[in-house]
Structure 1
């Protein structure tokens, strides 16, 4: 069994007696210097418990909470530790718009000032204060990356490569960390899109792996971003990538696969995503750590699947397509086993819901999912699954 390696601050080494694991060896945990000690130790402890503790004896279990039952068609994209959700909702005019949702209310994210009447926004990422990022039409009707702080929608601009400082170029924001760093992609003068990181009004272009395009979708508290980048300008093949201090790192592929994409990165620089493979199952989920990409298991009846989010305890959530079924299912991996989330909720909820996909997991282990009802496979609902004590 492989235990994650973490770096402690100031060169201190934390040794954890691995008495619960099969080799009974002493393991070394090295935790990143920039993350607060208390949070790191908590995450390390949770990870060790998930690998060696009670989770080995029994599967996790969850209670189910429907988010805003009155909002049929709500789709939660991401959430923070206070369960504030960056979501897509259907407003009173019947339009699907970006919103920030708390337990009792949803606040629609307004379009940028000057945008055409009736313009709608889309939101993707959220940070601890509930600020969200996404995109909105501009006065020139081009979509621009935005940051909404609960009061004002701010235009983050685009690469200034046209004759008007980026006004005629398109940009999208996908992720934000708790330091206010935003990542996404912006159109370039040649018409392609390239990854960026934005901070305090400055949008900085991130490199590719040799091609014309790249995209950053998530950024951790250390300012390390994850996404994908093209290898060359001819095949336009892309690999999962990490962007660190203005440089890009190719994470590779599974087996002899041809392409991969990263979807999330935690504060220990562990990355998850999906990759094509050399086998018959098409796309499979991966986890990347300490210079190595490994394939994550899927439930036994899976045709293919992806890993979408990872928390600092190393729990991963994603989705898969069962063989012989056209509707997806959600899964969680606790660092040791993979489970279909539909099997981890109470029987009464299993009769009411089909959990089709997991979109986020927070530090508390709560999972944001989208679901349908057995009697209505077309309408999407958002649920929060909260772990119960075993």
Structure 2
């Protein structure tokens, strides 16, 4: 639910609440662009595992890439070879072991692994370029090397411990896409130069691979193989002008079957990912003049996922790269701005919340007699919260400000501006001391002039903190009720003057429970002008930090792909091309802060908003 703070007369403020957000079951995925998660342009996703780690690489020049691993909201660059120039991570297993390639010159790559943060060179064939392509949960690696000689072709290998297995001798070119825990691998092979590539499939007991594809197809590829040796890919069929059809390969009771999964009426399709239960994900194209759509593919039972996402238009979503057991999908697609650009993205399923906001707070440098107003929304009914307005109690924790609010006053209001409770000096009452202990908030001196109160809130609520003199103050709200998917805090917003240094606007929140929570964070400046706010911050930027102070995400200007996310969250629209800031990302349980500041040390009125995007 959106909350917008706007000025009234004499610098006083009031809180406006919009309509409740409609979180539709018809939009089960949230799309997040890769560069939003890594903070780097030209980011390519390549693989993810079941604990939510993502690997890939981002371009630092036309000839150089940096490999990274993303985990729990933070992107970490992977080390290079000595004198390394470029690295690419392409596969990760359940233990966080990574495979890829690294180069020490512009010409030659070497297959490498990253295990416990250390890079290891594989060198399957001495003095030959090589690439690591896949790694399974046993740590076995599949890759390719360039075989110098009469054939001069790319050949595959599998390394299992110290054992090195070469196969498919004398092929012109081989690609590897997947390796499962049974040692089964697959991809495409060009047997002779000039021939079309064909899908191949090799179990550990075969000396050479077998061709896999729809009967009568001379061309195709195997894109993924699950733990039961079911495979998916695409076969190019001669009939109809050489169109591609998605397939599922399986072997049951000794019989091999290849099922054509192309939906009735579809122009063409391709299978990219197959789960352990045999579900296939890929893309479908229903007309020659349209872009492909990501889909769960199964003939007549195909489900168009591209039409069930928020965060991008359907034509953006072209391919599925990987999927984990939590339902996360990596993909790529065409982004049409001035030119055609390929963008990579993460699709997060919007499921019932397994984690919740348990604490919300805002820090600002108060102007005398001007209230700092913080809005929040509680869904699903009444809940008990502890609200604190702290000034003197910050002294043990804050050293970067010249003064603290000396005697803050606190008041809590409902959406109709009816006062629910108020406090000046909290007095150390047993009831409040018990609430501080229950919320695990930091203690305050019972004789301090800080303010504190218990309140029962429902729906939109605002907390106001005021002081007769200027100084740094903190509003905190702790949820004391048991939260679940239908009954929780879902939103935080605060507007105030954004200064520089210690006078920027800072919001904090704690996520409790288990599993990742998808959040929308916005830093609004120019967008406030639509609500007649004078002196709005010209060019806001937001930075998200974890509890250790590590920067895990940053944004200056918001992406137009987030417009539909704003609608789903119930947030007000932003003008196209505005200099406001916004980002969406999954965050695991823990404590986080959001810093709102002005680009180039500019100042002005700014608004921080944090939304829970889970259903």
Deviations along 1:271-318, one digit per CA (max 9) or x if unpaired, are 111111132152222111011222112484x44332111111222111
| Distance in 2 (alpha carbons) for counterparts of 1:189 and 1:90 | 29
Aligned match for 1:85, one of 54, 58, 66: 54
Deviations along 1:151-190, one digit per CA (max 9) or x if unpaired, are 222111032xxxxxx12x1111111101110101112232
The answer on whether the counterparts of 2:87 and 2:102 sit within 8 Å (CA) in structure 1 is yes
The answer on whether the counterparts of 1:226 and 1:262 sit within 8 Å (CA) in structure 2 is yes
The CA deviation at 1:76 is 1.4
Stretches of structure 2 lacking an aligned partner (at least 5 in a row)? 1-24, 353-614
1:343 alignment partner, SS class: helix
Residue 228 (structure 1) aligns with: 188
| Distance in 2 (alpha carbons) for counterparts of 1:216 and 1:312 | 20
Question: Is 2:61 the counterpart of 1:100?
Answer: no
Task: Count matched residues.
Answer: 318
Deviations along 1:215-270, one digit per CA (max 9) or x if unpaired, are 43211111111223445578475342224235234244323221221111100000
Greater strand fraction, Structure 1 or Structure 2? 2
| Distance in 1 (alpha carbons) for counterparts of 2:327 and 2:299 | 13
The CA deviation at 1:197 is 0.2
Aligned match for 2:324, one of 362, 365, 374: 362
The CA deviation at 1:81 is 0.7
The answer on whether the counterparts of 1:158 and 1:187 sit within 8 Å (CA) in structure 2 is no
Residue 114 (structure 2) aligns with: 148
Describe how 1:1-390 pairs up with structure 2 within 5 A.
62-66=28-32, 67=34, 69=36, 70-90=39-59, 96-115=65-84, 119-138=85-104, 141-159=107-125, 166-167=126-127, 169-190=128-149, 191-207=152-168, 211-231=171-191, 235=195, 238-280=198-240, 281-290=242-251, 291-298=256-263, 300=265, 302-321=266-285, 323-325=287-289, 327-333=291-297, 337-346=301-310, 349=311, 354-371=316-333, 378=341, 380-386=343-349, 388=351
TM-score by length of structure 2 reads: 0.47
TM-score by length of structure 1 reads: 0.71
Stretches of structure 1 lacking an aligned partner (at least 5 in a row)? 1-58, 160-165
Deviations along 1:65-121, one digit per CA (max 9) or x if unpaired, are 525524343221111111211122245999543211123221222321233xxx111
1:297 alignment partner, SS class: coil
Q: 1:96 to 1:144 in 2, by over 3 A?
A: closer
The CA deviation at 1:128 is 1.0
| Distance in 2 (alpha carbons) for counterparts of 1:186 and 1:92 | 25
| Distance in 2 (alpha carbons) for counterparts of 1:239 and 1:92 | 33
Q: 1:359 to 1:252 in 2, by over 3 A?
A: closer
Q: 1:101 to 1:91 in 2, by over 3 A?
A: farther
The answer on whether the counterparts of 2:182 and 2:204 sit within 8 Å (CA) in structure 1 is no
| Distance in 1 (alpha carbons) for counterparts of 2:102 and 2:115 | 14
| Distance in 2 (alpha carbons) for counterparts of 1:73 and 1:299 | 36
Q: 1:92 to 1:172 in 2, by over 3 A?
A: closer
| Distance in 2 (alpha carbons) for counterparts of 1:233 and 1:267 | 33
The answer on whether the counterparts of 1:231 and 1:237 sit within 8 Å (CA) in structure 2 is yes
| Distance in 2 (alpha carbons) for counterparts of 1:237 and 1:381 | 26
